[in-house]
Amino acid sequence: MNLKKVVFPVAGLGSRFLPATKAIPKEMLPIIDKPLIQYAVEEAIDAGFNELIFITGDTKRAITDHFDFKPDLNISNLTKDKKIFISQMHRIIPDHVSCQYIIQDEPLGLGHAILQAKEAVGEDPFAVVLADDLIDAKSGVLKQMIEHYQDKNSSIISVQKIKKSESVNYGIIEFKEGGENLIKITNIVEKPSPENAPSNFGVVGRYIFCNKIFSLLEKISVGVDNEIQLTDAIKLLLETSPIYSYEFDGTRYDCGTKLGFTKANIAFALKDRENANKLKGFIKDLL
Ligand code: G1P
C-alpha cells in the first residue's frame, strides 16, 4: 500500500472567525491548548502517513512556524519541568515524517487548494484532511478508513448522518443500496437545498483518493459559492471509478462554525479530569 501522503488544505480566509483569523489561519485556533491543525496532523501520523503536505496562504505563516519552530531549551531560568514540557514540543513531527508547504496564491475553493498538491503527490493515492472537522474517536478516522481502502482499493469519503435541513452545509451523497457503514455511492452534490438533497448523509472532511482526481480538478469550472469545488471533481471521478462512503465511528465537531468550535472546546475541557468538575459546576451556575 503506497498510502503515505496526506494533504491539509489550510489556506481558507477563515472569515467566520474574524478578527481572530486576521493574521492566523483558522486551523491554528486552539481547542483548549492545541491548535486544530495539530489534532489533524496527529491523526494522520497515527494512521501511518509520513508525508504531510500543507496548502497554505501566502500571508499566514503560523502553521509553518508551528511545526518547524523548536523552542529554545537553553533559556537560563527554565525549571526542569518546563524543560521537559518544552522538549515535548520538539517532537510534534517525528523524524520519519516530512512536511511540505505549498502556497495557494488565491483562495479559489477546496478543489483548487487540493490541485496545488498535484506535483507533490505524483502518482500515489493520498488522503485529504480538513482540520476544521475535528473528530473525537477511539481509533482515528483516517486509520478506520485505511482498513476499508485496503479492502476495496477505491477512493473513500467519510460521511455522517445529518439533518436534511442542514444539507446546504455539506456535500451530500446519493446511493442505490444502503449497507452497514460502507456504501458504494452513485452521485454527490455540493450544498444542495433540503428539497434537492439526495440523502441525509453529509460528507465530513476525511477523504482517500486515487490520483486521477487531479486531472478532474483541472477540468472543472467554478461551482457553488463561486469556488472550484472538490465535490464536482468527485462527481466526475464516479464516471470511471467506484467510490465508497464510510460512516465513521466518532463524534465530529464542525469547528468551521462558532457553535461547533465552542462545543468542541467544552467537550474537550470536560475530558480533562483536573478541571471537569469545576467546569460542570460553572456551567450549572451559568444556566
Ligand atoms: C467542504 C466540502 C463539503 C463537505 C464539508 C465538510 O465544505 O466542500 O462537501 O461536506 O467541507 O466539512 P466547507 O465546509 O469547506 O464549505
pLDDT of residue 112: 97
Cα atoms in the 13 Å half-sphere on the side-chain side of 139: 10
Cell digits for 200?
Answer: 441525509
Our answer on whether the CB atom of 170 is closer than 6 Å to any ligand 1 atom is yes
How many angstroms does the Cα of residue 77 sit away from the middle of ligand 1? Answer: 46
What is the mean pLDDT of each successive set of 10 residues along the chain, which is 287 residues long?
Answer: 92 91 94 96 97 91 86 73 73 90 93 97 96 97 94 94 96 89 96 97 97 96 94 97 96 97 96 91 93
Our answer on whether the CB atom of 204 is closer than 6 Å to any ligand 1 atom is yes
pLDDT of residue 180: 86
Q: Name the 3-class secondary structure at 262.
A: helix
Which residue out of 203, 220, 255, 257 has the highest number of ligand 1 atoms within 8 Å of its CB and is therefore the one to mutate? 203
What HEC string does the chain produce? CCCCEEEEEECCCCHHHCCCCCCCCHHHCEECCEEHHHHHHHHHHHCCCCEEEEEECCCCCHHHHHHHCCCCCCCCCCCHHHHHHHHHHCCCCCCCCEEEEEECCCCCCHHHHHHCCHHHHCCCCEEEECCCEEEECCCCHHHHHHHHHHHHCCEEEEEEECCHHHHHHCEEEECCCCCCCEEECCEEEECCCHHHCCCCEEEEEEEEECCCHHHHHHHCCCCHHHCCCHHHHHHHHCCCCCEEEEECCCEEEECCCHHHHHHHHHHHHHCCHHHHHHHHHHHHHHC
Phi and psi, residue 14, nearest 5°: 65, 35
Q: pLDDT, tens digit, for every residue of 158-207?
A: 999 999 999 999 999 999 987 789 999 999 999 999 999 999 999 999 99
Greatest alpha-carbon pair distance for the chain in Å reads 66
Domains and CATH numbers, the chain: 5-251 (3.90.550.10), 257-287 (no CATH)
Closest ligand 1 atom to the C-alpha of 225?
A: 16
Closest ligand 1 atom to the C-alpha of 190?
A: 9
Amino acid type, 31:
I
How many angstroms does the Cα of residue 273 sit away from the middle of ligand 1? Answer: 33
By percentage, how much of the chain surpasses pLDDT 90?
A: 82
How many angstroms does the Cα of residue 190 sit away from the middle of ligand 1? Answer: 8
CA-nearest residue for atom 5, ligand 1, is 170
pLDDT of residue 51: 98
Measured on CA atoms in the order 191, 122, 244, 251, is the torsion positive or negative?
negative
pLDDT of residue 155: 96
Closest ligand 1 atom to the C-alpha of 230?
A: 8
